[in-house]
């Protein structure tokens, strides 16, 4: 008797979690998203700012250019918030607790790198990604791309230099009375990181500040020049025409090091 009861219970539990089929998903889409107004800032209480929780992912340090004073990284952000315009009862849709849709179907925050060197526009550009939407309106959205920022170069310790570069993100057009960025409980991740052979990633800092009325995420990274010989060669090859920008003594130092490195490599 009790064995049969356990089996029945198991089947019931199974059908509870796996009972969804495509018709549930289509019905959910029709009921919840077909007339969803994605242009509206999805705050239930219009007097409190919408809180966007953010995790920063560093994928790689693509390039650091001393002369142009720019850094290029490949980075991503995981954003989550609650969309007050979305909710459904999972039991009415075959126990569908969440759904995955294209990000163009709902409101998404216009996260902008404000110290970008190329364009002022959403980090994500026009690229669509998938969003996870939960029955209570919780949304999780990954965005990312190539990010180039202005970075004041300090070459006083060249070629043993470290550089610290800051990326400032905010939701352009939505000040802190409308929207705040908040750090997630684990706000930085290097789990998808690929090293760069010229620059070692040494440390990071991540914080939220209020800046010009905007809730702003400041992400700083410190990178350390990795291979002496290689960077000297690259600096000389790429920047011979630009050497006048570097002070005379540094140029001399570059040449001395190059001579040293050539000698030692011909010895070995």
Q: Which residues bind ligand NAG (CB under 6 A)?
A: 51, 82, 134, 136, 138, 180, 182, 200, 208, 215, 224, 226
Distances (CA, A) of 171 to 118, 141, 151, 168, 255: 18, 15, 21, 10, 46
The smaller minimum CB distance to ligand NAG, of residues 62 and 138, is found at: 138
Q: Is the peptide bond before 249 cis (omega within 30 degrees of 0)?
A: no
The smaller minimum CB distance to ligand NAG, of residues 153 and 182, is found at: 182
The smaller minimum CB distance to ligand NAG, of residues 115 and 182, is found at: 182
CB of 29 to ligand NAG, least distance (A): 19
Neighbouring residues of 233: CB distance < 8 A, sequence distance ≥ 6:
258
CB of 205 to ligand NAG, least distance (A): 17
The smaller minimum CB distance to ligand NAG, of residues 189 and 200, is found at: 200
Q: How far is CA 115 from the centre of its chain?
A: 15
Token couple for 244? 């006048």
Q: Whole-angstrom Cα distance, residue 257 to residue 236?
A: 11
Helix (H) or strand (E) holding 256: helix 248-267
The smaller minimum CB distance to ligand NAG, of residues 138 and 250, is found at: 138
Q: Number of C-alpha atoms within 13 angstroms, CB side, residue 115?
A: 19
Are 255 and 232 spatial neighbours (Cβ–Cβ below 8 Å)?
no
Only one residue has tokens 């919408």, namely 50
CB of 11 to ligand NAG, least distance (A): 25
The smaller minimum CB distance to ligand NAG, of residues 182 and 250, is found at: 182
CB of 114 to ligand NAG, least distance (A): 17
The smaller minimum CB distance to ligand NAG, of residues 224 and 259, is found at: 224
Q: Whole-angstrom Cα distance, residue 66 to residue 191?
A: 28
CB of 190 to ligand NAG, least distance (A): 13
| DSSP letter assigned to residue 171 | E
CB of 140 to ligand NAG, least distance (A): 9
CB of 4 to ligand NAG, least distance (A): 34
Q: Is the dihedral of CA 192, 198, 204, 209 positive or negative?
A: negative
């Amino acid at each position: 008797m009790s064995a049969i009861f356990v089996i029945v219970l198991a089947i019931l539990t199974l059908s509870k979690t796996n009972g969804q089929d495509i018709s549930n998903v289509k019905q959910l889409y029709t009921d919840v998203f077909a007339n969803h107004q994605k242009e509206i800032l999805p705050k239930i209480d219009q007097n409190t700012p919408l809180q966007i929780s953010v995790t920063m992912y560093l994928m790689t340090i693509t390039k650091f250019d001393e002369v142009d004073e720019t850094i290029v990284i490949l980075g991503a952000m995981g954003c989550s918030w609650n969309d007050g315009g979305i909710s459904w009862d999972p039991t009415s849709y075959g126990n569908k607790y969440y759904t995955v849709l294209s990000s163009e179907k709902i409101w998404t925050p216009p996260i902008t790198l404000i110290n970008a060197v190329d364009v002022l526009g959403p980090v994500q550009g026009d690229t669509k990604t998938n969003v996870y939407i939960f029955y209570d309106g919780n949304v999780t959205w990954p965005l990312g791309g190539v990010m180039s920022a202005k970075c004041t170069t300090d070459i006083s310790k060249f070629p043993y230099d470290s550089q610290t570069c800051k990326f400032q993100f905010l939701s352009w057009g939505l000040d802190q009375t409308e929207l705040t960025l908040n750090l997630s409980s684990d706000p930085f991740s290097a789990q998808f990181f690929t090293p760069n052979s010229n620059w070692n990633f040494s440390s990071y800092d991540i914080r939220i500040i209020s800046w010009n009325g905007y809730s702003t995420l400041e992400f700083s990274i410190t990178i350390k020049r990795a291979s002496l010989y290689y960077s000297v060669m690259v600096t000389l090859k790429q920047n011979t025409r630009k050497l006048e920008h570097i002070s005379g003594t540094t140029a001399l130092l570059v040449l001395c090091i190059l001579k040293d490195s050539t000698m030692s490599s011909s010895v070995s």
